[in-house]
Amino acid sequence: MKILVTGGAGFIGSAVIRHIIENTNDSVVNVDNLTYAGNLESLAAVSDDERYCLELVDICDRHEVDRVFETHQPDVVMHLAAESHVDRSIDGPLIFLKTNIIGTYTLLEAARYYWQNLVDGKKQSFKFHHVSTDEVYGDLDGPDELFREDTSYAPSSPYSASKASSDHLVRAWGRTYGLPTVITNCSNNYGPYHFPEKLIPLMILNALDGKPLPVYGDGQQIRDWLYVEDHARALYLVAGHGKSGETYNIGGHNEKANIDVVKIVCELLEELVPSNKQSRKSGNTAGFQGLITYVSDRPGHDVRYAIDAGKIERELGWTPQETFESGIRKTVLWYLQNKQWWSHVLDGSYSRERLGVDNLTESK
């Protein structure tokens, strides 16, 4: 297959592309505008492969999106491009509405026009796979409740509301126009190449630098943690074998309170980093856990998310390979061994402007 991946320089998108190039014979067209969270260094391992191509395109630009479809003639679209940080959506929601809603609309219309003009065989096999989040479901009421594919939507933040809107658009384009669509809603991802504003990499890097480890409220917010490479396998499986018109929830079967995640990271760092010299930079002699600082909770903070991933297991045979214990150890080790990647993020040298990628043309 030729797969068009939007947002392929992001955290999950780059994991998907690495998985495809390293484990299949398919080719990938990466459509990414390289906003702040897009990092081409996350694709260094595969960027020279002849089956990989980068298109520097804003998904809100219909003319350019049409050109990409016409030029590359994809068999499948995997739509991952999105603004995704809840805190940023609270501070400035407009860009979330533009990218997540208008961008998805623009992509759907371009895909519909392209699909309608395909010949029979290729038209029948085409698929538009929209990648979403469990945050569209809002907050779970009881300790035993799980998000299922038919759970009602109740988003709490501008981010999750924009993703809920994009989900509804995808379903509407499927029902009204017949576009072959499939949606996946995933739980919290973690793993290598995660942008340092997110909880786990922020805790790792702050701890290494002896900085406070900020935890919202009492830290008892529970999330279902999914190792990003497990997620990439699931997404590729859905893209190839998911049934059009269906939704699949993807979870890691790893519910953890935020404060427990932070403490586990601290314990791993105590084991893996010789001495506590990093934590002593701030005058703290209690180890990395002594850096934990409770801060005011963010507005509308949901208490618990948890995914029922039974459908994708029953219908497509996917289950996560990593436990949280194995995945978080791999993650901490990766950050310890890949300082160049995250230091380039922290100093800004990874960015589009610093790399001069505006001068890049389509490479293959």
Short-list 199, 263, 186, 179, CA closest to 226: 186
Q: What percent of the chain has pLDDT over 70?
A: 93
Active site annotation includes 105: no
Q: Is the pLDDT of residue 278 over 90?
A: no
Question: Are the C-beta atoms of 28 and 17 separated by less than 8 Å?
Answer: yes
- Quote the distance between the C-alpha of residue 64 and its chain's center: 24
Q: What is the pLDDT of residues 343-352, one digit of tens each?
A: 999 998 887 5
The Cα–Cα gap between 184 and 242 comes to: 10
137, 143, 149, 154: CA torsion to nearest 10: -20
- Residue in this structure with the two tokens 């407009």, named with its chain if needed: 94
Confidence of residue 364 (pLDDT cuts 50, 70, 90): very low
Q: What is the pLDDT of residues 16-60, one digit of tens each?
A: 999 999 999 999 999 999 998 899 999 999 999 999 999 999 999
215: CB partners within 8 A, 6+ apart? 258, 259, 262, 292, 293, 294, 295
The Cα–Cα gap between 36 and 10 comes to: 9
Q: What is the pLDDT of residues 123-133, one digit of tens each?
A: 999 999 999 99
DSSP 8-67: TTSHHHHHHHHHHHHHSS-EEEEEE---TT--GGGGTTTTTSTTEEEEE--TT-HHHHHH
DSSP β-ladder status, 222-227 and 255-257: antiparallel
Say which residue, 351 or 134, is predicted with more confidence: 134
Active site annotation includes 50: no
User: How many residues are present in the chain?
Assistant: 364
- Residue in this structure with the two tokens 């600082």, named with its chain if needed: 293
- Residue in this structure with the two tokens 């897009």, named with its chain if needed: 38
Confidence of residue 327 (pLDDT cuts 50, 70, 90): very high
Q: Which of the following is catalytic: 114, 159, 248, 350?
A: 159
Q: Is the pLDDT of residue 292 over 60?
A: yes
Active site annotation includes 350: no
Confidence of residue 357 (pLDDT cuts 50, 70, 90): low
Which of 111-115, 297-301, 354-358 is predicted with the least confidence, judged by mean pLDDT?
A: 354-358
Q: Which of the following is catalytic: 134, 224, 229, 230?
A: 134
Question: Are the C-beta atoms of 160 and 133 separated by less than 8 Å?
Answer: yes
Q: What percent of the chain has pLDDT over 90?
A: 85
Confidence of residue 86 (pLDDT cuts 50, 70, 90): confident
Q: Which of the following is catalytic: 32, 41, 55, 135?
A: 135
Q: Give the three-class secondary structure for 1.
A: coil
Q: What is the pLDDT of residue 120?
A: 84
Average pLDDT over residues 265-282: 74
Average pLDDT over residues 142-146: 86
The Cα–Cα gap between 201 and 190 comes to: 8
Domain 2-359 CATH (choose: 3.40.50.720, 3.40.50.300, 3.30.450.20, 3.20.20.80): 3.40.50.720
